[in-house]
Every structure is written in C-alpha cells, then in structure tokens.
Amino acid sequence: MSADLRYLLDTNIVSDLVRRPDGAAARRLLAAGPERAALSIVVACEIRFGLLKAGSRQLAQRLGRILEHFKVLPLEAPADAHYADIRTALERAGTPIGPNDLLIAAQARALDLVLVTDNVREFSHVPDLRMENWLS
C-alpha cells in the first residue's frame, strides 16, 4: 500500500463521482489529491452490481474511467481481526450494521484510512473509525 494513501471511498461517494463528475465529492477529491484515495473491493463489487442492475451504458462508461484512477484494495488480514472486534462490539451495543458496511469499516480501520462516506449515521457506531463526509 502506498504510504501516501489516506482515504477509502465508500459506495455512495463513488456513486456520486459517477453521477456528478463536477459535484461536491469530486471537488473534495481533487482538493485532497485523487492519488491519496482508494476503493475497497467490497465497494467496487457494490458499484458494479448497481450499474449492472440499472443497465445504464453511460454510467458504466463513467465508472470505468473513474476506476482507472483508483487502486482497488483487496480484503486481507488484518481486516479479519478488525471485523471480529467491530462486529462483537456492535452486537453487544445492539447497533449492528450491514454486512458490506462492516467489511468496509474493518478494512478502513485495519489500514488506518479515513472512510469517506455519506452514511455517517451507520458508520458512527463503529469504534475508532475515522470518517469524513464529502457530500455534506
């Protein structure tokens, strides 16, 4: 992993980049430095599924151009340990989150990256997860 990597983009942020290439998320990304951001393989899967389901060739082409600029990070250890820790803490607190969001949070925390998301409400339950919302 690049030493300069700082951000892990969530699905809603990538979706905004695809739908609004000149929008708020795109402006924040340019200011932060696109080379400092990456995608989780989980996010890449969610985005590709959403585009396939929508059947939009134009959006699929935009996504292809966007994905060329980001490293897609594989899910690997120590994310598994973070996953177990986070899931246990959330279940004990009675605040579970969705399975994909749990994997994304575990990966961000394991890699010490800031998760960039518009889903602050759900991710705010995750202990020690750093977040920024580039859409608010």
Name the band, by pLDDT with cuts 50, 70 and 90, for residue 38. Answer: very high
Name the band, by pLDDT with cuts 50, 70 and 90, for residue 2. Answer: low
Asked whether residue 112 is assigned to any structural domain, the reply reads yes
Asked whether residue 2 is assigned to any structural domain, the reply reads no
Q: Tell me what pLDDT residue 1 has.
A: 57
| Mean pLDDT, range 79-95, rounded to an integer | 98
Mean pLDDT, rounded, of the chain: 92
The range of the structural domain enclosing residue 86 comes to: 7-132
Name the band, by pLDDT with cuts 50, 70 and 90, for residue 35. Answer: very high
| Mean pLDDT, range 53-60, rounded to an integer | 80
Question: What CATH code is carried by the domain that includes residue 40?
Answer: 3.40.50.1010
Residue for token pair 């120590």: 78
The two tokens of residue 130 are: 């750093």
Asked whether residue 62 is assigned to any structural domain, the reply reads yes
Alpha-carbon gap, residue 103 to 112, rounded angstroms: 14
Write out pLDDT tens, residues 14-30: 989 988 989 999 999 99
pTM higher than 0.75 for the full model? yes
Domains: count for the chain: 1
Q: Tell me what pLDDT residue 19 has.
A: 84
Alpha-carbon gap, residue 113 to 105, rounded angstroms: 10
Name the band, by pLDDT with cuts 50, 70 and 90, for residue 58. Answer: confident
Asked whether residue 92 is assigned to any structural domain, the reply reads yes
Alpha-carbon gap, residue 7 to 130, rounded angstroms: 10
Asked whether residue 63 is assigned to any structural domain, the reply reads yes
Q: Tell me what pLDDT residue 121 has.
A: 94
